């Protein structure tokens, strides 16, 4: 299976919407779900942090992953953004075909 689910979190809705639009427009993602804000608890620089974040669920392919990761890192405001890719083992075949189609750059 060629499809991936990539997860990342942004600090606010505006940055989440901006990143989602950029990824879809660049065909690095077929679809990005912007979820409701959540609270994250983590250790950073030796202390426990609690912050509000906006999770993104990004659908892409293994072929586009490296470019997607670079684009997230370039636009992401965090020093060390969470970027996790989970391979999709099963899914509706027509939907997974759509993900591949939408992330394939157009031929020149």
Residue ranges of the domains in the chain? Answer: 3-102
- pLDDT value at 1 more than 90: no
pLDDT category of residue 21 using cuts at 50, 70 and 90: very high
So what's the pLDDT on residue 104? 94
The Cα–Cα gap between 45 and 54 comes to 22
pLDDT in tens, 73-85: 999 999 999 999 9
Q: What is the pTM of this model?
A: 0.94
Spatial contact of 59 and 99, defined as CB atoms under 8 Å apart: yes
Return the CATH number of the domain spanning residue range 3-102: 3.30.70.120
| Cα torsion 86, 88, 92, 95: sign | positive
pLDDT in tens, 31-69: 999 999 999 999 999 999 999 999 999 999 999 999 999
């Amino acid at each position: 299976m060629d499809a991936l689910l990539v997860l990342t979190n942004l600090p606010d809705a505006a940055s989440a919407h901006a990143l989602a639009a950029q990824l879809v427009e660049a065909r690095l993602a077929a679809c990005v779900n912007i979820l409701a804000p959540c609270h994250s608890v983590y250790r950073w620089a030796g202390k426990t942090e609690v912050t509000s974040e906006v999770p993104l669920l990004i659908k892409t392919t293994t072929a586009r992953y490296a470019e997607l990761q670079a684009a997230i890192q370039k636009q992401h405001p965090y020093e060390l953004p969470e970027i996790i890719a989970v391979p999709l083992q099963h899914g509706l075949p027509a939907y997974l075909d759509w993900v591949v189609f939408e992330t394939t750059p157009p031929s020149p």
